[in-house]
């Protein structure tokens, strides 16, 4: 009996080695907000996007065997860091992607650096991830606070909105967004009249809106996201902010937010994104496939970023024929130009920043929208070399003059 078990065990070991010899096993962990306020802009939709990327890459043809796992970081840095440790140490995860919360992303960034594993940020915004906190293991894919500030902030100051008041979510992301936007406003000759920090997940914004109203600022900058942005705009309409001549700047607004605000409330809102589902045929085709698992919803730029990030990662791993050394994979990803159906051609910079164009959109009026999801009209395209913070301005230690 014992001999038989021993033989079976030995046979099993041999079989696994046999598989290993043929196919390189790669494990990707989608770490996202699966149940909270950011679950619609990332969450299960990010898992779908990652699966589609793996499907399109066709791992078998490249000698890879890719597995995707996912977990909920609950918007808590400690939970996110623990999952990351568990994944890297115990579950042999090679790469973590998404993490739509800057606080959590900064924590995971440190874990990935320590364990020398790849971290691709799609959902988080803080530009510190490629600035002071940049890491040789981290790539920031989709967007960041500097790019949002530069897109929306600059456009509004240029069109006359030169005095600002901020409603800021009181954590890493909100403060980074306020800081980056303030820099853009001042650089373009505007002024910041004041700001108020509110706790994450606030349901009533009327007090803060009243303070913003009293400031007489022309633009009320919303340095928050998800449900907080929705509540701010919804209640702002009620308190006559927009009819009183003040204007909202949704510094981070996703198409999922516009859907829950409704075009009637959201119309005229100016926002910056790097991807919109209805821009190209390739985007529409991706949306259709993505919607097979999420009927009636529309993918956000975060979902598109997960798709594109996973694809580029797999290309790099296939080229290296190894996934265990995070720094080597990231170096390879920086070396190879990016090219995929959703973001087109681009590159990954030395500080980990992925470079592609950004788009300034305006939310359509209800009568301009012809079909569900027909929410944006393009106001301007910000060229790839202007969309993101100049390499040397970020203070990233990886960048040597």
Which positions touch other proteins (CB under 8 A)? 35-41, 43, 170, 196-199, 201-204, 206-208, 210-211, 213-214, 226-227, 230-231, 234-235, 238-240, 244, 256-257, 259-262, 264-265, 297
Residue 33 or 351: which CB sits closer to other proteins? 33
Residue 130 or 232: which CB sits closer to other proteins? 232
Residue 210 or 383: which CB sits closer to other proteins? 210
Contact 239, 186 (CB under 8 A): no
Give the nearest distance from C-beta 83 to other proteins in angstroms.
19
Give the nearest distance from C-beta 198 to other proteins in angstroms.
6
Residue 188 or 201: which CB sits closer to other proteins? 201
Residue 244 or 397: which CB sits closer to other proteins? 244
Give the nearest distance from C-beta 22 to other proteins in angstroms.
39
Which among 144, 126, 142, 145 has a CA at the least distance from the CA of 303? 142
Residue 366 or 397: which CB sits closer to other proteins? 366
Give the nearest distance from C-beta 36 to other proteins in angstroms.
7
Give the nearest distance from C-beta 282 to other proteins in angstroms.
25
Which residues are 250's β-sheet partners? 222
Cα separation of 198 and 170, whole Å?
5
Q: How far is CA 142 from CA 36, 90, 347, 394, in A?
A: 21, 29, 12, 17
How many Å separate Cα 8 from the centre of its chain? 46
Cα separation of 193 and 303, whole Å?
35
Cα separation of 310 and 97, whole Å?
8
How many distinct helices (H) and strands (E) make up the chain?
A: 15, 15
End-to-end CA distance of the chain: 67
Residue 199 or 390: which CB sits closer to other proteins? 199
For 35-111, where are the E strands, in sequence order?
Answer: 64-72, 95-98
Cα separation of 258 and 167, whole Å?
18
Q: Give the count of beta carbons closer than 10 Å to the beta carbon of residue 369.
A: 16
Give the nearest distance from C-beta 224 to other proteins in angstroms.
12
Residue with tokens 């995070």: 326
Give the nearest distance from C-beta 298 to other proteins in angstroms.
11
């Amino acid at each position: 009996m014992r001999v038989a078990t021993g033989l079976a065990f030995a046979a099993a070991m041999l079989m696994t080695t046999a598989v290993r010899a043929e196919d390189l096993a790669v494990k990707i962990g989608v770490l996202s907000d699966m149940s909270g306020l950011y679950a619609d802009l990332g969450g299960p939709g990010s898992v779908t996007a990652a699966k589609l990327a793996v499907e399109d890459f066709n791992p078998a043809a490249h000698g890879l065997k890719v597995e995707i796992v996912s977990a909920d970081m609950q918007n808590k840095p400690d939970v996110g860091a623990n999952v990351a440790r568990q994944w890297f140490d115990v579950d042999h995860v090679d790469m973590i992607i998404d993490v739509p919360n800057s606080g959590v992303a900064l924590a995971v960034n440190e874990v990935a650096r320590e364990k020398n594993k790849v971290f691709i940020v799609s959902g988080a915004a803080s530009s510190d991830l490629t600035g002071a906190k940049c890491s040789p293991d981290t790539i920031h894919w989709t967007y960041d606070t500097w790019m949002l500030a530069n897109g929306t902030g600059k456009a509004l100051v240029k069109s006359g909105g030169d005095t600002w008041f901020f409603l800021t979510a009181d954590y890493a992301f909100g403060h980074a967004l306020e800081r980056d936007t303030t820099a853009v406003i001042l650089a373009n000759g505007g002024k910041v009249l004041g700001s108020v920090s509110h706790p994450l997940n606030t349901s009533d914004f009327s007090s803060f809106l009243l303070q913003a109203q009293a400031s007489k600022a022309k633009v009320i900058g919303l340095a928050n996201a998800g449900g907080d942005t929705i509540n701010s705009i919804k209640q702002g309409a009620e308190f006559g902010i927009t009819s009183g001549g003040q204007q909202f700047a949704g510094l981070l607004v996703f198409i999922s937010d516009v859907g829950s605000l409704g075009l009637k409330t959201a119309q005229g809102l100016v926002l910056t994104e790097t991807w919109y589902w209805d821009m190209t045929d390739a985007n529409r085709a991706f949306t259709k496939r993505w919607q097979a698992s999420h009927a009636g919803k529309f993918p956000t730029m975060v979902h598109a970023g997960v798709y594109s990030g996973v694809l580029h990662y797999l290309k790099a791993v296939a080229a290296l024929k190894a996934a265990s050394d995070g720094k080597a994979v990231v170096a390879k990803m920086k070396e190879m130009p990016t090219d995929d159906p959703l973001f087109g051609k681009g590159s990954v910079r030395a500080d980990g920043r992925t470079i592609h164009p950004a788009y300034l959109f305006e939310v359509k009026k209800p009568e301009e929208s012809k079909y569900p999801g027909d929410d944006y009209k393009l106001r301007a395209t910000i060229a790839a070399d202007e969309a993101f913070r100049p390499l040397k301005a970020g203070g990233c230690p990886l960048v040597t003059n």
